[in-house]
Amino acid sequence: MFIVNVEGAIFKNDTWLIIERSKKEEHAGGMLSLVGGKTEVEGNTLDILERTVKREIYEEVDVKVKEHLNYVHSTSFVTDLGENVIDIVFLCEYESGEAIAKSPDEVESVNWMTVQQIYSHPNAPDYLKESIKRAENLKGANRFW
């Protein structure tokens, strides 16, 4: 079985909301990341991925995103503890809220960063750069933004 994780590539103007993961985190502690988290067991339900990413964004950084989300891409990976994870990234447009590290056990710091700042940051893993690249391409091609 897989853990299902969702992440939001949140943009505002020409920047992306990037967190530094808490050093207490078992997976990728101290690294830069998109905001997100695991889905919860809900039984029969609709839009679980979209609701989960919106909930996680609000719980972790106190930000609300606009209703319309776009699928960016999915990946799979194995955590340091050997857990298999499917990760789904959504493109999200900022709506409201002051981005703060609301959940210090999960989020060390919150930053609005340009693509160049993300690409050149020493703690930006390749998978984050790939997600940002794909989100940028989708944002540029999407008439909704």
Q: How many domains does the chain have?
A: 1
What pLDDT score was predicted for residue 111?
96
What pLDDT score was predicted for residue 89?
98
Instruction: Please tell me the pTM assigned to this model.
Output: 0.92
What pLDDT score was predicted for residue 129?
97
Residue-wise DSSP of 24-83: T-TTTTTSEE-EEEE----SS-SSHHHHHHHHHHHHHH--EE-S--EEEEEEEEE-TT--
Range of 88's domain?
3-141
What pLDDT score was predicted for residue 135?
97
Task: Give the CATH number for residue 49.
Answer: 3.90.79.10
- Average pLDDT per 10 consecutive residues for the chain, totaling 145 residues: 96 95 72 93 90 96 96 93 95 96 88 97 96 94 61
What pLDDT score was predicted for residue 26?
65
The end-to-end CA distance of the chain, in Å, is 36
How far, in Å, CA of 70 to CA of 144, rounded?
10
